[in-house]
Amino acid sequence: MSSPEIASLSWGQMKVQGSTKIYKDCKVWPGGSRAWDWRETGTEHSPGVQPADVEEVVEKGVQILVIGQGMSEALKVPPSTVEYLKKKGIDVRVLQTEQAVKEYNALVTQGLRVGGVFHSTC
């Protein structure tokens, strides 16, 4: 099962291949995607992305996880989250969201088991 490509990105809106939904923030993995609701884990821009935010994607068996920090990189990614992923054997890429989407889509076209969590505003 392959990871769906991000079909489009603009401020506050993301579309994922194979889904009719428009996401503000989203999680993607081989075979699926869904909205990333920060309220589920109490996520805020700082301290930022926590292991609980990425756990669902990790459980889908990804080799690489791309994290989009927002258009202005307002969403922090603490070292503890990066370490959590590395301990699971996952290569993690933390980028500004437009760059993150390009990187993610490039990895998808290479046929890798890639997942992502993306913030589409600040």
pLDDT tens digits, 51-81: 999 999 999 999 999 999 999 999 999 999 9
How far is residue 110 from each of residues 3, 40, 70, 100, 107, measured CA to CA in Å?
10, 32, 24, 15, 5
Collapsed DSSP state (helix, strand, coil) of residue 29: strand
Task: Give the per-residue pLDDT at 1.
Answer: 85
CA distance 62 to 55: 11
pLDDT of residue 54: 98
Percent above pLDDT 70 for the chain = 100
